[in-house]
Structure 1
Amino acid sequence: MEILSQDEGGVGSASVGHDPVVPPGRPGPRRRRRGRLWGVPWVVLGGWVLVVLVAGMFAAKLGDVQRNEAVDYLPANAESTQVARIQGGLPGGDAMDVQIVYRRDGGLTPADREAAAAGIADVVARHPLVGGSGPAAQESVDHTTLRYALSVDRRGAEPDDIVPDIRTLVERHPDGLSVRVGGPGGITADMQEVFASIDGTLMLASVLVVAVLLMLTYRSPYLWIVPLVCAGVAVAVATATVYGLVRAFGITVTGQSSGVLTVLVFGAGTDYALLLVARYREELRVHERPLEAMFAALRGCGPAVLASSGTVVVGLLCLTAADLNSSRGMGPVGAVGVVCALAVMTTLLPAILVLLGRRVFWPFVPVFGSTPKLGRGAYARIGTAVSRRPIAVLVAGVVLLGAGALTAFGLPGALRQSDGFTKKPESIVAQETLSAAFPEQSGAPIAVLARSERAAGVLAAVGSTAGVEHVRQGRTADGWTEILAFAKDRPESAGEHATIERLRAVPDARVGGPTAQQMDTAHTTARDRRVVVPLVLLAVLLVLIVLLRSLVAPLILVAAVGLVWAASLGLGGLVFEHGFGYAGVDAQTPLLTFVFLVALGVDYGIFLMHRVREMALRGDSVRIAAPAALETTGGVIASAGFVLAATFSVLALLPLVSLVELGFVVAVGVLIDTFLVRTFLVTAASVALDRWIWWPGPLSRRPARGTTGTRPVQPPVSSRKMAV
C-alpha cells in the first residue's frame, strides 16, 4: 500500500479556495504554518513506537501480580475477611485444605481401600502436611465413598501447582473406582487454572471479533487494520500501566478485572476509532489535505469522544467506593484502560491515517469537493417517521423498556460457590459427591476465632449452638484461638446460614469460612449498590451537563440508560435461569453491569446529542437537527454498538458464570441502547421538546430556523477553510 504524504490532495483533489497571492519566493502564512506541522504525524508515530517498546517489557508481567485468593474477592471490612486474615497468620496459616474423595457406586472393595491408602501415602510423602501424620479415612454409611481431609503445607507453592500433582499421584486405582480432589484447595486451583487462560482467550477472541466487524463496516482491504492495530497498542500500554500501578501503589488486580480490561479497551477504543474515522471521512470531502481534515475531525468530534471516555472513567472510579475487594480493584484498572484507549485513538490513530492519506479508504475513497448521498438511508427514513409522531414513539418506547425493567424484580437467587462454573470442574464434582455421601455434615467447617483467654467459654458456647454437629479446637497463636464448627446442614444451605447467624451472636466470637464469606459478600454487594449507584448517576450527569450545556438532555439520557440497565438485567435473569440453566445470579452482576451500561451506554446518546447541538449552534431547530443528526451518525453508532456488544459477548467463552452473566447483560444492554433508545427514544424526546431540550442553557432561548420536517444534512461545521 502506497503511503501518501499529508500534502497530497488525493483522488479528485480539485482546488476550492486559494492562499492569498504573495510575491514570488515568499511563502504565504498558511503555507509556512503547514510547513511547520507536516512532521507532527511522524513525531507522534515515533513517540508511540518508543512507548510500545517500553510497555512490551512490562505488559506480560501483569499475570505475575494477579491475586486470585478468596480474600481478594471478599469484602474488605467483613467479619469473614478479618477471620481469613487472622487465620493466615496462625501456625499452619499457609496450609491448603484438600479433600480426596474415592467412590465406587456398587460399594467399595478391599482392593479399593488398599489403593486409596497407597495413594494417600504417596501424597503425604511428597507434600508435607500441617499438623502431623497422614489422615484417617472417613467412610460413608452406605460404604460407597471414602473421604480423606488433608491440610497441605503450601509454603513456596501455589494451589495450581500442588493440586495437579496430587491428582497425578492418586490417579492410579482399580477400574470402576473414581477419585477426585476437591475442598477449598481444589476449588482455588481450578479457579486459578481458569484465570490463567482468560487473557489469551479474550485477546484472541477480541481481535477476531473486532477484525471481522471492522471489515464489514469499512468494506476496505486496508482500513480495518489501522484501528485494530491501535486497539492492540492500547491493550499493551494499559496492561503495562496497570502493572506499574500494582508495583507502585499495591492496587489489587484479579483475573476477573484483568479479563474485563482487555474487553473494555478493545470495545471502547474501537468505538472511539469508528467515530473519529467517520468524521475524518466527512472532512476529507471539504478539505484538500488530510492533515487539515484530521484537525477538523478532531475538533468536531473531540468533545464527544472526550465526554464519552470521561463518563466511563468517572463511572469506573466510583467503584473505588465499593467495599468488595474485587469490585473496588476493577475501578482503577478499567479507568486506566479507557484512558489508554482514548490516548491511542486520538493521537496514534490520526497520525497513521494522515500518513496513509485518503487512499486508505479504497475502494470508497472520499473525493475532495464531493457530497455524500443523503436522505435515502434507513436512518433518514426512521428520523422522518419519528419526527412525525414523536410523542407516540416516546410513550411506546418507555412502556416497552418499563415492561422489561419489571422483570428485574424476578431475578433468580444468589449464585453459590459450587455453581460458579459453567462446566463443573473436578473440585465441584468432589464436593457434590461428599454432600451426597455425607449428608449429615457440612463439607467445610465454620471457622470461629476467639481471644485465647476466652477460648474455653467460646468453645463451649459454639458446641451448644443449635445447628452445630460437633466442634474441635484448632490452632493458637498471637493471642487468637481457632475453633472449627461442623454444621448439621449441607454447605451453603439455608440451614447452615441460620447456624452461622446464631454463631455470630455468641459473645467474643468472630465467624468465617466459605459460607460465611458468601453471606458477607451478598450483604456487601447490596451495600455497595446503595453507595455506588447514586455516585455513578451523579458523576455521569455532571459530565453530560458540562458537555451539552443543558439539564434536560442529560436527565433524559441518564434516565434512558437506567431503564436499559433494568430491562437488560431482567432479561438476563430469565435467560440465565430458563435458557442457560444457571442456579442464580452472581452477587456482583447487578452492580458491575449498572456501572458499565450507564457509563458505556450513555456514549451513544452523547454522540447523537453532540451532533444535534453542533447543528443547533448553526441555528437549526432541534426538530430538524435531531432527525438530521440521526441520519449522519446512525451508521457509525450502529457499528460502534455492534462492536462493543460483540466484544463483551466474548466473555461468554469463559467457563465462569459470573463473567458470562456480566458479558451477556452488558451486550444486550448496549444493543438495546443503540437501536432502541438512541435511535427512537432520544430522537423522539428531542423533537418533542424542541429547544426546551437545552434548558436552561442559552440554546433554549435562541430562536431557530425551521420548525417541522427534515432537510438534507449540511456539511460539517468545519467545512470552512481552516488556517492550519
Structure 2
Amino acid sequence: MGAGKATTASKRRRRAVPWAVLGLWIALLALTAPFAAKLADVQHDRVTDYLPASADSTQVAKIQEQLPGGESTELVLVYHREGGLSGADRETAARQVEEIADKHELVGRTDVPEGVPSDDGTTLMYPLVSNEPGTDEELRDALVEDVRGIAHGQDARDGLSVEVGGTGALATDAGKVYDSLGGPLLYTTVAVVALLLVLIYRSPVLWLVPLVVAGVADYLSMGVAYGLNQTFGTTVSGQSSGVMTILVFGAGTDYALLLVSRYREELRRVERPYDAMTAALRGCGPAVLASSGTVAVGLLCLLAADLNSSRGMGPLGTVGVLCALIAMLTLLPAILVLLGRRVFWPLVPAFGSEPKQRRRNLFAAMGSSAGRRPLTVLATGAVLLGALALGTLNLPGPVKQEDSFVDKPEAVTAMETLARAYPQHGTQPIDVIAPGERADRALAAIRDTRGVESAEKGRTGDGWTEISVIARDAPQSAGETATIRALRTELEGSYVGGASAQQIDLEDTNSRDTKIVVPLVLVSVLLILIGLLRSLVAPLLLVAAVVAVWGAALGIGGLVFGPVLGFEGTDPGLGLLSFVFLVALGVDYGIFLMHRMREESLAGAEPVAAALTALRTTGSVIASAGLVLAATFAVLTNMGLVQLVELGFVIAVGVLLDTFLVRTYLVTSASVALRRKVWWPGALSREPGEGGRSGEPTEPPRQPERVAAP
C-alpha cells in the first residue's frame, strides 16, 4: 500500500510540476510586461551613448547639453550646379537661408549667415548652427526636416542641387537606420530561426515550441534591460538592444537544440516524458549552464571598456543570454513534457526503439578521417586558418562618418559634394568648450593655432563658453587631425570635440579597450572551462581554436569588405566586439563536444572512441546550432550601417568556420592525437590502473532503460 501511495504521489508530481512552472512564467510575464513596453522610451542613439566615457569629445557633448538651448545642431546647406552657379541660383540660396534664419535661432549671428563659395564657382556652402531651446533628438530631427523642406522647396531651380548635410543631418539620417533595428530586425530574426527549425526538426509542431519560448525570453529580457537602465543607468542604444535580441534567439535556440536532442534520445530509453526530461536536463544541463556562463562572463568583461557603446552592450547581452538560458531550462521543458511525445510527430521517438541509422553519417565519416590521420588533419587546418588570417592585412582603415552608411543618405552626399568642391577646406566645425573666464584667451590661442581657418564664440553658460572652429583641411584628413591634436595640446583646461574629434577618440579608446578587455575575456573563459572540464590542456585547446577562428573570420572580412562590398573603412570597434562574441559563443560548441567526450570517458570508453563517439552524437546538434546562430547574426548584414554589417558578417563567418571546421575536424583531431593527455592533469589523464587508480570513478556503459508504467 505504501508503494501504491508513493506511485500516486509520483504521478501527481509529474503532472503538477510542469503546470506550476508554466503558471510561474505567466505570472513573471505579467509582472514584466509594463517594464518591457517602456524599453523603447529609454533607448537613445545620442552621440554620448557611443563615445568614450572619459574622452574630450564626450565632455564637449555633455557640456553642450547643459548650455542655453541644449546641444547645438550643426547643419551645412550645399548649393551646387555643374558648370557654375548663376546669379539666380545665389538669389535662391540667399532667400532660403534668410527664411531659415527667420524661423530658427542660429548661433553667434544676428543676421543672415554668409555663404562660402568654392573656387570653381560651382558650389555655395552655408554653415548653420542652431541652439533653439530644448534641442533634443526629436526637435533636432524636426529642425533638420524643416530645413530640408525649405531647401527642397519650390524656389529651387532645375539643375540646381540643394542638399542639407552636417553633423545634425548625419545624426538624423543615422537615427532612421537605428529605428529600423527594432521591428524589422526582430521580424527577420524570427523568420530566419523559424525556417531553420522547420528544416532541422521536420515537424509541423515542434519548431514552434522553442521559437515561442525564445520570444518569451526576449520579452523578459526587455523588461530586465529597462530595470537595469532605471536602477544603474545602463546605456540602451539601438545597437545594444538589437544585439540582445539576436543573442536571445541565437543562443536560446542553440540551448533548445541541445536539450531537445538529448530529450529525444532519453525518450527512447525512458517511458514517461517527465522522467525522460529529468534525465535530459541532468545530462546536458551542466554543458548548457557552462556555455551560457561563458558567454555571460565574456560579455560582462565589456564593462571594463571605456567606450560607452561597448560597455552598454555587455550588460544587455548578458541579460539576453541569461533570460534565454532560464527560459530554455524551465519553460521549454515544461511545455515539452505537457505536450508529450506527440510534439515530435511525425518522427515520434518510441520507447525502446533505436534511432534510424543513416547509411552514411557525415560526422562519423569526418571523425573517421580525423581518427586515421589526426596530425595531418590538424596541420592542414592550422595552415588554412593561418592563410585566411592574412586577409586582415587587407582590412580598410577606420571608417569615416560619411562612409558608415550602406545606402548613402542626403547628409553623406552633401559631404561628398563639399569634399569635391572644397578639397583643401574644412567643412564641419570643431567644437571647443573653454572656461568662461578664459574664453577670450582661448579664442586668441585657437586663431593662432596652425591649421585653423576661423574661430567664433557662440553660447555661454554654466561657466563655459562654446567656440566654433573651422579647420583649413578637409574633415577627418591627416591635416585636420593634426589641428585637433594641436588644439588639445595648446588649450589647457578646455575640451575639443565635434565629429572629427569624436572619430579620433573612438579609434584611440578602442585600441585601449582591446588591450584590457581581450586578456580579461581569455582568463575568464579559461577559468570556466578549467572548472567544467577539470583539465588544463582541453581548455587551452578550445581557447586557441576560437582565437584562430576569430583571426580567420577577420581575414575573410578583409577579403570581402573592400573588394566585394565596396566599404571604405572598418568600424574601430570591430576587432574587440567580434573577439568577445566569437570567443564566448565559439567556446559553447567546444563545451558541448568536450563535455560529451568527458561523459564517454567516464563511462569507460577509450580516448579515441570517446572523441569519435562525442563527434558522432553531438555533430548534428552542433551543426544545427551553428547554422542557427550564424543565421541570426547574418541578419545584421541586412541593416543599413556599415559597422553592423561588418560585425554580423565576421561573427556569422566565424561561427560557420568554428562549427564545420574547427569543432568537427581540428578539436577532434587534437583530442585523438593527445589521447588521455587532453585531460591533463585531471584523473582522466591517467591510464587505467596507473597509481592504483583507473582515473575517476567510472560508470558502466548505459543500456536502454525500460521503465514500466504504474
TM range (shorter): over 0.9
Listed as ranges, the matches of 1:270-669 within 5 Å are: 270-374=253-357, 376-508=360-492, 509-669=494-654
Match of 1:237 among 195, 209, 220: 220
Q: 1:596-655 CA distances to partner (integer Å, 9 max, x unpaired)?
A: 000001111100111011111111112101101111011111000000000000001111
TM-score by length of 1: 0.92
Q: Secondary structure at the match of 2:598?
A: helix
Question: Aligned residue for 1:80?
Answer: 57
Do the aligned residues in 2 keep the contact of 1:283 with 1:293 (CA within 8 Å)?
A: yes
Do the aligned residues in 2 keep the contact of 1:404 with 1:568 (CA within 8 Å)?
A: yes
Q: Read off the aligned partner of 2:20 and give its amino acid letter.
A: V
**Ranges in structure 1 where 5+ consecutive residues have no aligned partner:** 1-21, 706-713
Match of 2:143 among 154, 157, 162: 162
Q: Secondary structure at the match of 1:216?
A: helix
Q: Secondary structure at the match of 1:577?
A: coil
Q: Secondary structure at the match of 2:264?
A: helix
Do the aligned residues in 1 keep the contact of 2:68 with 2:133 (CA within 8 Å)?
A: no
Mapped partners of 2:385, 2:105: distance in 1: 59
Q: C-alpha displacement at 1:507, in angstroms?
A: 4.6
**Cα distance, 1:637–1:643 mapped onto 2, change above 3 Å:** same
Do the aligned residues in 2 keep the contact of 1:103 with 1:144 (CA within 8 Å)?
A: yes
Q: 1:53-108 CA distances to partner (integer Å, 9 max, x unpaired)?
A: 34333323222211211121111111222222223333344321122222222322
Mapped partners of 1:432, 1:337: distance in 2: 39
Do the aligned residues in 2 keep the contact of 1:300 with 1:717 (CA within 8 Å)?
A: no
Q: Read off the aligned partner of 1:171 and give its amino acid letter.
A: H
**Ranges in structure 2 where 5+ consecutive residues have no aligned partner:** 691-699
**Cα distance, 1:388–1:540 mapped onto 2, change above 3 Å:** same
Q: Read off the aligned partner of 1:466 and give its amino acid letter.
A: R
Mapped partners of 1:94, 1:446: distance in 2: 14
Question: Aligned residue for 2:696?
Answer: none
1:145 aligns with 2:123: yes
1:246 aligns with 2:225: no
Q: 1:297-332 CA distances to partner (integer Å, 9 max, x unpaired)?
A: 011000000011001000000000000010000000
Q: C-alpha displacement at 1:404, in angstroms?
A: 1.9
Q: Read off the aligned partner of 1:177 and give its amino acid letter.
A: L
State which drifts further: 468-477 or 76-85: 468-477
Q: 1:122-146 CA distances to partner (integer Å, 9 max, x unpaired)?
A: 4344434344344233333333222
Mapped partners of 1:718, 1:548: distance in 2: 27
1:47 aligns with 2:24: yes
Q: Secondary structure at the match of 1:439?
A: coil
Mapped partners of 1:69, 1:154: distance in 2: 17
Question: Aligned residue for 1:62?
Answer: 39
**Cα distance, 1:111–1:715 mapped onto 2, change above 3 Å:** farther
**Cα distance, 1:373–1:380 mapped onto 2, change above 3 Å:** farther
Q: C-alpha displacement at 1:205, in angstroms?
A: 0.7
Mapped partners of 2:105, 2:192: distance in 1: 47
Question: Aligned residue for 1:269?
Answer: 252
Q: 1:514-563 CA distances to partner (integer Å, 9 max, x unpaired)?
A: 11111111011000000000000011111111111111100100010001
Q: Secondary structure at the match of 2:605?
A: coil
State which drifts further: 651-660 or 572-581: 572-581
Q: C-alpha displacement at 1:247, in angstroms?
A: 1.5
Q: C-alpha displacement at 1:374, in angstroms?
A: 4.7
Q: Secondary structure at the match of 1:146?
A: strand
Q: Secondary structure at the match of 1:38?
A: helix
Mapped partners of 1:251, 1:28: distance in 2: 53
Q: 1:334-367 CA distances to partner (integer Å, 9 max, x unpaired)?
A: 0000000001111111111111111111111101
Q: C-alpha displacement at 1:591, in angstroms?
A: 0.3
Listed as ranges, the matches of 1:92-241 within 5 Å are: 92-131=69-108, 132-152=110-130, 153=132, 155=134, 157=136, 158=138, 159-172=140-153, 173-241=156-224
State which drifts further: 625-634 or 128-137: 128-137
**Cα distance, 1:461–1:129 mapped onto 2, change above 3 Å:** closer
Q: Read off the aligned partner of 2:362 and give its amino acid letter.
A: A
State which drifts further: 455-464 or 325-334: 455-464
Q: Secondary structure at the match of 1:578?
A: coil
Q: Secondary structure at the match of 1:652?
A: helix
**Cα distance, 1:685–1:218 mapped onto 2, change above 3 Å:** same
**Cα distance, 1:115–1:386 mapped onto 2, change above 3 Å:** same
State which drifts further: 450-459 or 547-556: 450-459
State which drifts further: 85-94 or 617-626: 85-94
Mapped partners of 1:718, 1:425: distance in 2: 63
Q: Read off the aligned partner of 1:609 and give its amino acid letter.
A: M
Q: Secondary structure at the match of 2:466?
A: strand
Mapped partners of 1:626, 1:275: distance in 2: 18
Q: Read off the aligned partner of 1:258 and give its amino acid letter.
A: S
Q: C-alpha displacement at 1:31, in angstroms?
A: 4.3
Mapped partners of 2:149, 2:483: distance in 1: 37
Question: Aligned residue for 2:697?
Answer: none
Listed as ranges, the matches of 1:703-718 within 5 Å are: 703=688
Q: 1:192-235 CA distances to partner (integer Å, 9 max, x unpaired)?
A: 11111111111111011001100100011111011111111111
Do the aligned residues in 2 keep the contact of 1:300 with 1:718 (CA within 8 Å)?
A: no
Q: Read off the aligned partner of 2:29 and give its amino acid letter.
A: V
Question: Aligned residue for 1:695?
Answer: 680
**Cα distance, 1:632–1:715 mapped onto 2, change above 3 Å:** farther
| Identical amino acids, percent of aligned pairs | 58
Mapped partners of 2:480, 2:292: distance in 1: 45
Mapped partners of 2:313, 2:478: distance in 1: 31
Q: 1:680-700 CA distances to partner (integer Å, 9 max, x unpaired)?
A: 111111111111111111111
Q: Secondary structure at the match of 1:699?
A: helix
**Cα distance, 1:215–1:154 mapped onto 2, change above 3 Å:** farther
**Cα distance, 1:716–1:335 mapped onto 2, change above 3 Å:** farther
Mapped partners of 1:407, 1:720: distance in 2: 55
**Cα distance, 1:486–1:156 mapped onto 2, change above 3 Å:** closer
Mapped partners of 1:232, 1:96: distance in 2: 39
Q: Secondary structure at the match of 1:100?
A: strand
Q: Read off the aligned partner of 1:198 and give its amino acid letter.
A: L
**Cα distance, 1:114–1:347 mapped onto 2, change above 3 Å:** same
Q: Read off the aligned partner of 2:403 and give its amino acid letter.
A: D
Q: C-alpha displacement at 1:246, in angstroms?
A: 0.9
Q: Secondary structure at the match of 2:226?
A: helix
Do the aligned residues in 1 keep the contact of 2:258 with 2:284 (CA within 8 Å)?
A: yes
**Cα distance, 1:379–1:249 mapped onto 2, change above 3 Å:** same
Mapped partners of 2:335, 2:350: distance in 1: 19
Do the aligned residues in 2 keep the contact of 1:100 with 1:179 (CA within 8 Å)?
A: yes
Mapped partners of 2:558, 2:322: distance in 1: 32
Listed as ranges, the matches of 1:663-682 within 5 Å are: 663-682=648-667
Do the aligned residues in 2 keep the contact of 1:92 with 1:130 (CA within 8 Å)?
A: no
Q: Secondary structure at the match of 2:455?
A: strand
Q: Secondary structure at the match of 2:563?
A: helix
TM-score by length of 2: 0.94
Do the aligned residues in 1 keep the contact of 2:240 with 2:317 (CA within 8 Å)?
A: yes
Q: C-alpha displacement at 1:511, in angstroms?
A: 2.1
